[in-house]
Amino acid sequence: MMTPKDVLAFAKENGAKVLDIRFLDFPGVWQHFTVPMSELDEGSFEDGYGFDGSSIRGWQPINASDMLVIPDPTTAAMDPFYEEPTLVLVGNIVDPVTRESYTRDPRYIAQKAEAYLKGTGIGDTAFFGPEAEFFIFDEIRFESSRHRAFYEIDSVEGIWNTGRDEAPNLGYKPRHKQGYFPVPPMDKFQDLRTEMLLTLEQLGIAVECQHHEVATAGQAEIDMRFQPLLQMGDQLMWFKYVLKNVAARSGYTVTFMPKPLFEDNGTGMHTHMSIWKDGEPTFAGDGYAGISETGLFAIGGILKHARSLCAFTNPTTNSYKRLVPGFEAPVNLAYSSRNRSASVRIPMYSASPKAKRIEFRTPDPSCNGYLAFSAMLMAALDGIENKIDPGEPLDKDIYGLSPEELAEVPSAPGSLAEALEALQEDHDFLMKGDVFTPDVIDTWIEYKTENEVNDVNLRPHPHEFFLYFDI
């Protein structure tokens, strides 16, 4: 763990000329500003740097706009993309008058979730391992105005381009749902993904693998090794930043939008989670699929609160183009050891107790990782504290169930509006230990409703012209 003194030595050793300070807005996009290295000394880690909080989405009103960002010395890294050597520090947000941590700072919420876990005595560390999928496109064009709306995606891998004159067209384009995962030349992005992987490793982020994913047109996945909650929240921000910038440097664009392509697989973020205490995994046991009673209760908490969790784990209107019943998406609020249509799975790759974890398959990478991981942890802890029985596992093929059997399996929300309504009705578990405050819950619901749900609902959809123009 770096101290302020260590950071100054690290910056000097790497020839840093400027400091880039980063934090994220409420929805989860990294923000930054840059100062000369002469503006950084050991006192900066207490005094912080001022900025206008009223311009950050979901934050302060204009009459109380001044905010401070306090750099966290443990986050020091050198940016791999800037032309000039640049030290990067991720910061925590505080009120400049009271010096109290800002309740809407997602990183602070993650810190409180970790502290709450330790306070329960159930464990001391919550590990998270997200499998964030994404698309690599050649080009994206879109417009949404009063009289026109469209989007157009293109990719050298797109199966729709088999007939395009590419001077020459060499074929080898993955068919819909057949991108997992033939070797090159069918896979066009092996080298680009490896460059992403190596850049992540250069930043000290441990990576387990990279590969093409199921969809055509460059769908991919790179898996980071599991880390404690706050650290993984930080790493997910670096992950998105690295992938987008490596792609842009080579003339491509990366998106974590959950459902950019019609009639092909959407982009999920299956998230592995475990709670440890005194260096031992609390989810390992001799129950179903080698899981402990604690692990089963954690599943019970996730399933009980899954519909409200979706407001944080699947926080866009586009998320629910992926979460559609009857397809491959894990919308069924049940658990299983092998069944990938269940929203919670107990992976069986390894017999080692240290590998025992639960996998929540519903989330997607449009989420704010700090909020999503914190909400998942709070749901799991609620299940453990209240001994919530998850019921029987769903080991049958979901597509083979009768309508009567299927009706007994609860389902994820069908829209962001439904998820926000579920959050409104079920959020007490999030507020234990003041992890999520009433202000955070209310602001999240209000922001998402006004800026996303209503904005989408008010606009005619292009497909509506196809369906209804001649009525």
Catalytic residue positions?
A: 52, 131, 133, 213, 221, 270, 340, 359, 361
CA 304 and chain centroid, separation: 21
Pairing label, strands 149-154, 66-71:
unpaired
Residue carrying the six token digits 């302020």: 4
CA geometry: angle 335, 336, 337, nearest 5 deg = 140
Between CA 65 and CA 82, with CA 70 as vertex, the angle to 5 degrees is 100
Tokens of 428: 């007490």
Are 200 and 242 in contact, with CB atoms under 8 Å apart? yes
Q: Is 345 left (phi over 0), alpha (psi -120 to 50) or beta?
A: beta
Q: Which residues pair with 92 in a beta bridge?
A: 70
Residue 71 burial class via C-beta count within 10 angstroms: exposed 0-12, middle 13-18, buried 19 and up: buried
Question: Cβ contacts of residue 200 below 8 Å, gap of 6+?
Answer: 207, 222, 224, 238, 239, 242
